Amino acid sequence: MLKISELTCEYEKNPLAVASARPRFGWAIESGSVDVAQASYRLQVALDESFASPLLDTGDVASGISQFVRYSGKSLKPRTRYHARVRITDTDGDRSDWSAVCRFETSFLNEKWTAPFIATPLSLKLPKGGASYLRSEFVIGTDIESARAYVTALGLYELWINGTRVGDALLTPGWTSYSKRLAYQTYDIGSLLKPGKNAIGAVLGEGWYAGDLTWLKRRNFYGPRTALSASVRIRSAQGRERIINTDETWQSGGGPVLYSQIYHGETFDARLDDAAWCRTGFRASGWANAEAVAADASVVVPQDGPPVLRQEILPVREVIVTPKGEKVLDFGQLMSGWVAFKARGRAGDKVVLKHAEVLDADGNFYTANMRGAKNLIDYTLRGGAEESFEPHFTFQGFRYVMVEQYPGEVKGEDFSGVVLHSQMEKTLDFTCSNEMLNKLQHNIEWGWKGNAVDIPTDCPQRDERLGWTGDAQVFIGTAAYLYGVAPFFRKWLRDLKADQIADGGVPFVIPDILTPIAHLEEKLKESHSSTGWGDAAVVCPWMAYARYGDAEILAEQYASMKAWVEYIRRRARDGKIWDNGFHFGDWVALDAKEGSYFGATPNDLTATAYYAYSTRLLALSAEVLGKKKEAAAYRKLHREIVAAFRSEFFTPSGRLAARTQTSYILALVLGLVSDKNRSRTVADFVSLLDESGGHMTTGFLGTPWICRALGENGRIDYAYSLLLKEDYPSWLYQVTRGATTVWEHLDGLKPDGTMWSPDMNSFNHYAYGAVGEWMYKNIGGLSVDETGLTGEAGFKSVTFRPQPGGGITSSRIAYRSAYGTHAIDWKLDDGKFFATIDVPPNTTATVILPGKARDVTGSPRIAFSDGTDGATANIGSGTYRMECRI
Residue nearer to ligand BGC on the CB measure, 4 or 514:
514
> If binding is defined by CB under 6 A, does position 471 make contact with ligand BGC?
yes
Query: Which one-letter amino acid corresponds to residue 225?
Result: R
- Nearest distance, CB of residue 700 and ligand BGC, angstroms: 7
Indicate left, alpha or beta for 672 from its phi (over 0: left) and psi (-120 to 50: alpha). Answer: alpha
Residue nearer to ligand BGC on the CB measure, 470 or 541:
470
Binding segment (CB under 6 A) for ligand BGC, from list 16-24, 458-466, 478-486, 701-709: 458-466
Cβ 724 vs Cβ 732: under 8 Å: yes
Q: Are strands 117-119 and 291-293 parallel, antiparallel or unpaired?
A: antiparallel
CA dihedral over 288, 293, 297, 299, signed as positive or negative: negative
Cβ 417 vs Cβ 433: under 8 Å: no
DSSP letter (8 states) at residue 776:
I
d(CA 664, CA 499): 33
- Nearest distance, CB of residue 398 and ligand BGC, angstroms: 17
Residue nearer to ligand BGC on the CB measure, 277 or 587:
587
Query: Which one-letter amino acid corresponds to residue 392?
Result: H
Which H helix or E strand runs over 26? strand 24-30
Residue nearer to ligand BGC on the CB measure, 430 or 766:
766
Binding segment (CB under 6 A) for ligand BGC, from list 21-29, 411-419, 466-474, 687-695: 466-474
- Nearest distance, CB of residue 584 and ligand BGC, angstroms: 4
Specify the length of the chain in residues: 886
- Nearest distance, CB of residue 492 and ligand BGC, angstroms: 15
Our measurement of the distance from residue 722's CA atom to the centroid of its chain's CA atoms, rounded to an integer in Å, reads 27
d(CA 851, CA 872): 9
Residue nearer to ligand BGC on the CB measure, 355 or 827:
355
Residue nearer to ligand BGC on the CB measure, 545 or 766:
766
Kindly write out the interface string for residues 715-754 of this chain, putting x where it contacts ligand BGC by CB under 6 A and - elsewhere: ----------------------------------------
In this structure, what are the phi and psi dihedrals at residue 759, rounded to the nearest 5 degrees?
-45, -40
Concatenating the DSSP letter of every residue in 806-851 gives TT--EEEEEEEETTEEEEEEEEEETTEEEEEEEE-TT-EEEEEESS
**Residue 582: how many CB atoms within 10 A of its CB?**
14
Cβ 428 vs Cβ 776: under 8 Å: yes
Angle, nearest 10°, between helix axes 486-499 and 551-571? 40
DSSP letter (8 states) at residue 127:
P
Among 459, 514, 644, 668, binds ligand BGC (CB under 6 A): 459
- Nearest distance, CB of residue 760 and ligand BGC, angstroms: 6
Widest CA span in the chain: 87
Among 174, 256, 460, 470, binds ligand BGC (CB under 6 A): 470
Q: Are strands 300-302 and 182-188 parallel, antiparallel or unpaired?
A: parallel
d(CA 24, CA 102): 12
d(CA 589, CA 601): 9
Query: Which one-letter amino acid corresponds to residue 409?
Result: E
- Nearest distance, CB of residue 425 and ligand BGC, angstroms: 26
Among 212, 291, 445, 464, binds ligand BGC (CB under 6 A): 464
| Known catalytic membership, residue 464 | yes
Enumerate residues 6+ apart whose C-beta is below 8 A from 158.
165, 166, 172, 202, 203, 392
> If binding is defined by CB under 6 A, does position 487 make contact with ligand BGC?
no
Residue nearer to ligand BGC on the CB measure, 473 or 803:
473
- Nearest distance, CB of residue 703 and ligand BGC, angstroms: 13
Residue nearer to ligand BGC on the CB measure, 437 or 760:
760
d(CA 187, CA 234): 12
Residue 395: HSE in the Cβ half-sphere, 13 Å Cα cutoff: 31
- Nearest distance, CB of residue 706 and ligand BGC, angstroms: 18
Q: Active site residue: 206, 266, 357, 744, which one?
A: 744
> If binding is defined by CB under 6 A, does position 545 make contact with ligand BGC?
no
Which H helix or E strand runs over 389? strand 387-389
Residue nearer to ligand BGC on the CB measure, 537 or 808:
537
* Dihedral (Cα; 139, 140, 141, 143), 10-degree rounding: 180
> If binding is defined by CB under 6 A, does position 760 make contact with ligand BGC?
yes
Q: Which of 123, 115, 414, 162 is nearest to 252 (CA)?
A: 123
- Nearest distance, CB of residue 763 and ligand BGC, angstroms: 12
- Nearest distance, CB of residue 462 and ligand BGC, angstroms: 8
Q: How many residues make contact with ligand BGC (CB under 6 A)?
A: 10
* Dihedral (Cα; 550, 555, 559, 563), 10-degree rounding: 30
Enumerate residues 6+ apart whose C-beta is below 8 A from 879.
34, 836, 837, 838, 839
d(CA 423, CA 690): 43
Q: Report 565-624 residues binding ligand BGC (CB under 6 A).
A: 584, 587
- Nearest distance, CB of residue 367 and ligand BGC, angstroms: 17
Q: Active site residue: 206, 266, 464, 883, which one?
A: 464
Query: Which one-letter amino acid corresponds to residue 368?
Result: A
Residue nearer to ligand BGC on the CB measure, 192 or 459:
459
Residue nearer to ligand BGC on the CB measure, 269 or 495:
495
Kindly write out the interface string for residues 52-81 of this chain, putting x where it contacts ligand BGC by CB under 6 A and - elsewhere: ------------------------------
> If binding is defined by CB under 6 A, does position 512 make contact with ligand BGC?
no
| Known catalytic membership, residue 266 | no
Residues designated catalytic:
464, 744
Residues forming contacts to ligand BGC in the complex (CB under 6 A) are 458-459, 464, 468, 470-471, 584, 587, 760, 765
